[in-house]
Amino acid sequence: MRKWMACFAAIGLMALPAMAENRPVVVELFTSQGCSSCPPADKLMHSLAERDDIIALALHVDYWDYIGWADSFADPGFSARQRQYAKTGGRKMIYTPQIIVNGQDHVVGTRPIDVADLIDKHRDRPVTMTLNLARAGDQVMIEIAPARAVSGPFVIQMARYRPSETVTITRGENAGKTFTYANIVTDLTRLTNWDGQVPVTLTATAPGDLPVVVLVQRGDGLGLIEAAARLR
């Protein structure tokens, strides 16, 4: 990180570092604007989004679009991610609102006490690697190093999200209601694989000023999230 900051200073750029030594817990909410059960979970995301020790990500799915309202944030890739999580976890069904904590444990998104318990569980896990981020213009520099013996494979992924957006819904189960959504994921990109054995440094392109999240996740990007960091 010092090396990057010195380089940025030399070329007149501002470096904005983010480190995952404290390891924020990643909370993924699978939700839909067309789901009448989802608003309480969407509201919970606002409180989670305010916390520095949590990276809250709302992934809007498209499989409820047929009931009368097409979710304006939905991405079929997020629906596929949820299905793959279910397959990896040996579950036959998917549902909304569903929360996945650190890529491993799932819970109904309308159960805040259960969500809090899972967050506490994952916060207490030992740190296995460090993850440092810095931004220079549209480029994000990523540095990952094992903090102890750790075996892969891992997938390094990058997400972008919009912190807040308000939508008025005119059809479907939530017709006539207006909701403000938090931390709406716009894209989730697979950057590279990593074996976890030696430090790795890479650069990713992230144009614009949306927050950036980097995840280091076990298996094929659907297992335990070992490290995460964010640049707001």
* Chain centroid to CA 45: 12
Closest CA to 223 of 89, 124, 109, 113: 89
Q: What is the pTM of this model?
A: 0.90
Q: In what order do the strands lie in the sheet with 225-231?
A: 105-108, 98-101, 25-31, 54-60, 177-194, 154-169, 212-218, 225-231
Residue 16 has pLDDT above 50, yes or no: no
Residue 10 has pLDDT above 90, yes or no: no
Q: How confident is the model at residue 124 (pLDDT cuts 50, 70, 90)?
A: confident
Say which residue, 1 or 204, is predicted with more confidence.
204
Tell me what the mean pLDDT of segment 107-116 comes to. Answer: 97
Tell me what the mean pLDDT of segment 93-114 comes to. Answer: 97
**CATH value at residue 210:** 3.40.30.10
Say which residue, 188 or 19, is predicted with more confidence.
188
- Supply 46's token pair: 């606002």
Instruction: Determine the Cα–Cα distance for residues 161 and 194; give it in Å rounded to an integer.
Output: 24
The structural domain count of the chain equals 1
Q: What is the 3-class SS of 56-100, one letter each residue?
A: EEEEECCCCHHHCCCCCCCCHHHHHHHHHHHHHCCCCCCCCCEEE
pLDDT digits (tens, 9 = 90+) for 49-77: 999 999 999 999 999 999 999 999 999 99
End-to-end CA distance of the chain: 18
With a pLDDT cut of 90, the percent of the chain lying above it is 84
Tell me what the mean pLDDT of segment 113-142 comes to. Answer: 94
pLDDT of residue 22: 52
Q: How confident is the model at residue 118 (pLDDT cuts 50, 70, 90)?
A: very high
Instruction: Determine the Cα–Cα distance for residues 22 and 53; give it in Å rounded to an integer.
Output: 8
pLDDT of residue 148: 81
Q: Which amino acid is at 37?
A: S
Tell me what the mean pLDDT of segment 162-180 comes to. Answer: 97
Residue 7 has pLDDT above 90, yes or no: no
Residue 11 has pLDDT above 60, yes or no: no
Beta strands in 87-153 (DSSP E): 98-101, 105-108, 129-136, 139-146
The parent domain of residue 77 ranges over: 2-7+16-231
Tell me what the mean pLDDT of segment 107-115 comes to. Answer: 97
Helix or strand run (H / E) with residue 166: strand 154-169
